[in-house]
């Protein structure tokens, strides 16, 4: 691999220039700003080095779909990334304009630098380097999504319409930060999620004067408080009957992987600035994060500061789901529990969900890639020992489509640093992380020679 | 009184025209729109029929202060009203423009018609009729406030600065609707209130990604839910230690007055469109409304629909207080209870309060006025038997100043009909109620011959 890494190092200035070109184009999925132009730019860029690429419309923002077919390739890899970004938020908080990429302290600052244009481009460049050197061993299908930041709304339908084109042996993606310890990170799964809205309405359906009617009319805010209290105890255990039924303990292989993931509670508390880790103390922090489901109040809204009994109270609830929990099954359990409390005017709605996905640590396609990363470290091309997370705390709706619907094993690596400002102001990617990402991409593809 | 009632009937067209003049002037306390001009208009109107009047500045909106001194008067009455109004809200919901008074179905429609310009003017016209007939037996001090709709913020300071000028034997005011039964209504007190803000912050002080950090960080929304659950049971009893300590049962006189106030639960449920009255069933609806304190969640706000653990959760709490409960004492009890729960990051703040006030049913100055109203009904000048409410469910910060700080007995009558649209669109006052109000004012003042 040494010659490949050297070729990558020689291309540094060019790659940075290409990244800056991409970062100059807004592509905000929430507002749609710049989406078509950015998709077009990526498509032409792929075509420019011989990729058969096109912009595929969906019900929402388009997908950029591209294919590289080296002669004699036995395997095919989906290289996934998302070209859409979050809104920039308060411009006053940015040290340099979000769409004018700026280099400072060895990093490139711009919206999308870390999430996900920098990481998307690193993997695509890795494919190009291998192709140009005549060393690309596997066929590649690029799938660049435009709706990741708004929940991959059209992705399942896109996958169903292009099922044949998406056949492959492996899904490879890079997004998000390395583990908080800073070690190079591979994730082999995501928790699922289940987002719900829980509403309680009073019988009048309108705000009521709190003096004239005393509290003669049921107050939906109190009703919702008491209802929520039955759903989770103060120590963080969900009280929904059967909620933990499908929760499996880590396998022996996973337990060994967990042992390798830093999880020192005192250290994490210090880094986060909190006094203790929330939740039942009988689980370690990594068990909680990777192997336990959650039940979270994301938001609670009702009434105002104005001597009223609110007409309705509403909260947003979210579960992170682990391996064998289905969004539908968990929703049913929660719905049954809510109904059993017989709170007048209470209604639970499922708003959005994705299933947990997990690729086995010893999957035959995955194993050589992990070994390649470990060799990289041994050879000095990776700045730390590899950290393999059997699953991650977060969720990813499009990864779920690839793993669940299309049945692919999935590797997600993380080329950004933990403190990358993603979704916030001053988003950035360290240039050495960007370059390491290109090398990891090249190492992963090379390992698929098969 | 017959000749007085006849004189009032003869003035009907003039009085309606004067009311319409007043209703054409916006006077929105929340925005300040039109406040100075409306105060000036009222002042000149009073001066126009011989009242020594002036506009008195306060730290907020001005008070219109006027005095009528008939020769030989032994007693003095404060005639209070408020000239400020609520915002008009959505204009599309008004059938006629809110500041162009329109007559429909025997009522005058305009912002302020019921709350409180119509009722303020009725009492002032009653004084003028008696004065013009040479039959005014008591001195009158008009106090027309401009901040009632924003909580009488400057009124205590105004009263302290004009304590001497506000000396009197009785406080007489008209505001709000008759009892839901439609019977002519007198109120002899108000519950107090105590408004608070309860905040729980997480240790990080910012929203946190709910996947990346699982629920490793305490969720202030759950903390606030569990904290609130300790403060009130689902049946409506407050669980704050000592909360009901100062709650006295109705006196024998009050119990007799209560017996006369319609409180049929089935009827009230039918009128409100609810299936049952909330709160402990061992109290009647009128006991709940007049003799029990409340603990209400007015609003609850945190987070959003976005896979986060909120940085803080906040709710607005309100108590309606009965006679011997002080805002400070009740706040202390609630604060102690909150502190005892030891929820990290929880903080309770008092935002606003007023003390309950109650004038005894057998007060020697009040008794003759109630008798005069009863005679009115017997003589056919009042459209229903008098209903005396020993206290009302609502609160009134300026009444509290007169009763508590200035030590006056207080009578509040209600000249508007229950369905008057106050604070909402299409506010109106029935013309017959407006005319009856003038007669009640005249009867009340005449009864003070003493």
pLDDT, tens digit, 9 for 90 and up, residues B229-261: 999 999 999 999 999 999 988 889 888 888 888
Q: Is the domain of B56 the same as that of B171?
A: yes
Mark yes or no for CB contact A310/B292 under 8 Å: no
In B282-390, which ranges are continuous DSSP H helix? 285-291, 327-340, 366-378
Question: Which residue in B199, B215, B389 has the most chain A C-beta atoms within 10 A of its own C-beta, making it the best mutation to test that interface?
Answer: B215
Q: Which of these ranges, A173-177, A222-226, A306-310, has the smallest mean pLDDT?
A: A306-310
Residue A404 inside a domain? The answer is yes
B28-31, long-range: CB within 8 Å, 24+ apart, which pairs?
Answer: B28/B84, B28/B85, B28/B86, B28/B87, B28/B88, B29/B61, B29/B84, B29/B85, B29/B86, B29/B146, B29/B147, B29/B148, B29/B149, B29/B150, B30/B86, B30/B87, B30/B149, B30/B150, B31/B87
User: Containing domain of residue A318, as a range?
Assistant: 192-247+293-352
Measured between CB atoms, which of A210, A213, A296 is closest to B219? A296
Compute CA distances B324 → A212, B192, B361, whole Å: 20, 10, 17
The mean pLDDT of A388-414, rounded to a whole number, is 92
Residue at a domain's end among B311, B327, B354:
B354
pLDDT above 70: residue A36: yes
- The answer on B219 and B349 residing in a single domain is yes
State how far the alpha carbon of A125 is from the alpha carbons of A46, A135, A265, A438, B385, in Å. 10, 13, 38, 7, 90
- CA distance to A31, A134, A145, A176, per residue, from A66 (Å): 25, 19, 12, 23
* Secondary structure (3-state) at B193: strand
A99 located within any domain? yes
Same domain, B199 and B125: no
Is the predicted pLDDT of residue A385 greater than 70, yes or no? yes
Report the DSSP beta bridge partners of residue B314. Answer: B199, B301
The pLDDT of residue B352 is 86
Residue among A220, A240, A222 at smallest CA distance from A230: A240
Identify which has the larger pLDDT, A345 or A214. A345
Distance CA A198, CA A301 (A): 11
Distance of alpha carbon A382 from alpha carbon A376, whole angstroms? 5
Q: Among residues A324, A352, A380, which one ends one of the domains?
A: A352
Q: A90: Cβ–Cβ under 8 A, 6 or more apart, which residues?
A: A425
Tell me if residue A369 falls in helix, strand or coil. helix
Residues of A with Cβ-Cβ distance to B308 under 8 angstroms? 298
Strand-pair category, B139-145 with B76-82: parallel
Q: Can you tell me the distance from the alpha carbon of B269 to that of B343, in angstroms, rounded to the nearest whole number?
A: 38
Query: Is B272 among the domain residues?
Result: no
**Same domain for A320 and A198:** yes
Q: For the purposes of burial, counting CB atoms within 10 Å of the CB of B72, is it exposed (0-12), middle (13-18) or buried (19 or more)? A: exposed
Which residues from chain B sit within 8 angstroms of residue A285, using beta carbons?
216
Please check whether residue A265 is in contact with residue A401, taking contact to mean a CB–CB distance below 8 angstroms.
Answer: no
Nearest to A304 among B215, B298, B313 (CB): B298
Structure confidence by residue, pLDDT tens digits, A82-133: 999 998 988 998 999 999 999 999 999 999 999 999 999 999 999 999 999 9
CB neighbour list of residue B62: distance below 8 Å, 6 or more residues apart: B35, B36, B39, B55, B56, B146
Q: Is the same domain home to B57 and B101?
A: yes
Closest CA to B296 of B277, B313, B278: B278
Closest CA–CA distance from residue B218 to any residue of chain A (Å): 5
Which tokens sit at A211? 């003096």
Helix (H) or strand (E) holding B417: none
* Beta-carbon separation of B275 and A344 below 8 A: yes
Return the CATH number at B46. 3.40.630.10
- Dist CA B362 CA B356 (whole Å): 18
DSSP three-state, residue B298: strand
Nearest one of A48, A108, A58, A103 to A82, comparing CA atoms: A58
Distance from CA of B276 to the nearest CA of A (A): 8
Q: Is residue B95 part of a domain?
A: yes
pLDDT beyond 70 at A331? yes
Residue A124 forms part of a structural domain: yes
Tens digit of pLDDT at every position of chain B (450 positions): 999 999 999 999 999 999 999 999 999 999 999 999 999 999 999 999 999 999 999 999 999 999 999 999 999 999 999 999 998 988 998 999 999 999 999 999 999 999 999 999 999 999 999 999 999 999 999 999 999 988 888 999 999 999 999 999 999 999 989 988 889 999 999 999 999 999 999 888 888 888 877 678 899 999 999 999 999 999 999 999 999 999 988 889 888 888 888 888 998 898 888 999 999 999 999 999 889 999 999 999 998 877 788 999 999 999 999 988 999 999 999 999 999 999 999 999 999 898 999 999 899 999 999 999 999 999 999 999 999 998 888 888 889 999 989 999 999 999 999 888 888 889 999 999 999 999 999 999 999 986
The number of folded domains in chain A is 2
Chain B residue with the nearest C-alpha to that of A351: B305
Q: What is the ipTM of this complex?
A: 0.86
CATH number at residue A216: 3.30.70.360
Last residue of a domain, one of A352, A369, A392: A352
Which positions in chain B touch A236 (Cβ < 8 Å)? 215, 222
Q: Average pLDDT, stretch A331-351?
A: 97
Nearest to A191 among B211, B228, B302 (CB): B211
A134 to chain B, closest Cα gap in Å: 39
Paired with A420 in beta bridges are none
Contact (CB<8Å) B210/A274: no
Give pLDDT, residue A450: 67
- For residue B450, the model assigns a pLDDT of 67
B218 contact residues in A (CB cutoff 8 A): 274, 278
- DSSP secondary structure letters along B214-269: TTTS--HHHHHHHHHHTTB-TTS-B-STTTTTT-PPPPHHHHHHHHHS---HHHHH
The whole-number pLDDT of residue B295 equals 96
- Residues A211 and A164 placed together within one structural domain of the fold: no
Please indicate, yes or no, whether residues A334 and A362 belong to a single structural domain of this protein: no
Count Cβ–Cβ pairs < 8 Å, chain A vs chain B.
220
**DSSP characters for A287-329?**
HHHHH----EEEEEEEE-SSSEE-SEEEEEEEEEE-TT--HHH
Which residues on B lie below 8 Å from A315 (Cβ)? Answer: 221
B428, B325: one domain: no
pLDDT of residue B418: 85
* Co-location of A61 and A129 in the same domain: yes
List all residues 6 or more positions away from B102 whose beta carbon is below 8 Å from its beta carbon. Answer: B95, B96, B108, B109, B110
Question: With 70 as the cut, is the pLDDT of residue A311 above it?
Answer: yes
User: Phi then psi for B421, rounded to 5 degrees?
Assistant: 70, 20
**pLDDT at A43 exceeding the cut of 90:** yes
Q: Give the nearest partner residue to A299 out of B225, B274, B305, using CB atoms.
A: B305
Nearest-CB residue to A212 (from B285, B302, B394): B394
Locate the chain A residue with the closest alpha carbon to B229: A226
Best residue of B200, B298, B312, B341 to probe chain A, by most A CBs closer than 10 Å: B298
Mean pLDDT of A252-265: 87
Rounded to whole angstroms, the Cα distance separating B188 from B390 reads 5
Residues B147 and B168 in one domain: yes
B399 contacts in A (CB within 8 Å)? none
**CA–CA separation, A66 vs A43, rounded Å?**
8
Q: Are residues A97 and A223 in the same domain?
A: no
Contact A148, A136 (CB under 8 A): no
CB–CB of B298 and A308 under 8 A?
Answer: yes
CB–CB contact B209 A303 (8 Å): no
Distance from CA of A59 to the nearest CA of B (A): 22
Give the per-residue pLDDT at B264.
Answer: 87
Q: Are residues A327 and A395 in the same domain?
A: no
Residue A275, domain member (yes or no): no
Q: Is residue A286 part of a domain?
A: no
């Amino acid at each position: 691999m040494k010659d490949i890494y050297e070729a990558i190092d020689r291309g540094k200035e060019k790659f940075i220039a290409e990244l800056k070109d991409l970062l100059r184009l807004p592509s905000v999925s929430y507002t749609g700003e710049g989406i078509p132009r950015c998709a077009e730019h990526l498509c032409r860029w792929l075509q420019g080095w011989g990729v058969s690429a096109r912009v595929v419309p969906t019900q929402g923002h388009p997908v950029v779909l591209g294919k590289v077919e080296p002669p004699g390739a036995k395997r095919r890899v989906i290289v996934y990334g998302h070209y859409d970004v979050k809104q920039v938020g308060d411009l006053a908080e940015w040290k340099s304009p979000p769409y004018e990429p700026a280099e400072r302290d060895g990093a490139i600052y711009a919206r999308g630098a870390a999430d996900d244009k920098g990481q998307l481009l690193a993997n695509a460049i890795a494919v190009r380097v291998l192709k140009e050197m005549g060393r690309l061993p596997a066929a590649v299908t690029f799938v660049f999504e435009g709706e990741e930041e708004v929940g991959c709304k059209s992705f399942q339908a896109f996958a169903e319409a292009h099922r044949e084109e998406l056949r492959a042996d492996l899904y490879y993606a890079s997004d998000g930060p390395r583990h908080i310890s800073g070690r190079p990170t591979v994730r082999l799964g995501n928790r699922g999620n289940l987002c719900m809205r829980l509403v309680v309405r009073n019988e009048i359906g309108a705000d009521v004067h709190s003096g004239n009617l005393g509290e003669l009319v049921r107050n939906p805010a109190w009703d919702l408080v008491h209802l929520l209290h039955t759903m989770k105890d103060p120590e963080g255990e969900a009280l929904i009957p059967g909620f933990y039924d499908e929760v499996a303990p880590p396998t022996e292989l996973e337990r060994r992987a967990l042992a390798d993931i830093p999880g020192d509670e005192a250290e994490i508390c210090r880094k986060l600035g909190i006094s203790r880790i929330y939740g039942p103390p009988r689980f370690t922090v990594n068990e909680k994060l990777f192997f336990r489901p959650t039940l979270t109040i994301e938001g609670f809204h009702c009434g105002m500061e104005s001597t009223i009994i609110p007409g309705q109270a509403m909260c947003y609830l979210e579960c992170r789901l682990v391996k064998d929990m289905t969004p539908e099954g968990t929703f049913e359990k929660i719905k049954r529990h809510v109904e059993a409390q017989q709170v007048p005017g209470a209604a639970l709605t499922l708003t959005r969900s994705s299933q947990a996905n997990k690729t086995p640590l010893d999957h035959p396609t995955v194993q050589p890639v992990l070994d390649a990363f470990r060799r990289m470290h041994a050879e000095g091309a990776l700045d730390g020992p590899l950290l393999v997370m059997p699953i991650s705390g977060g969720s990813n709706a499009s990864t779920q489509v690839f793993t669940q619907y299309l049945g692919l094993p999935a590797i997600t690596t993380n080329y950004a640093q933990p403190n990358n400002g993603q979704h916030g102001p001053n988003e950035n990617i360290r240039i050495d992380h960007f370059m390491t990402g290109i090398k990891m991409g090249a190492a992963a593809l090379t390992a698929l020679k098969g």
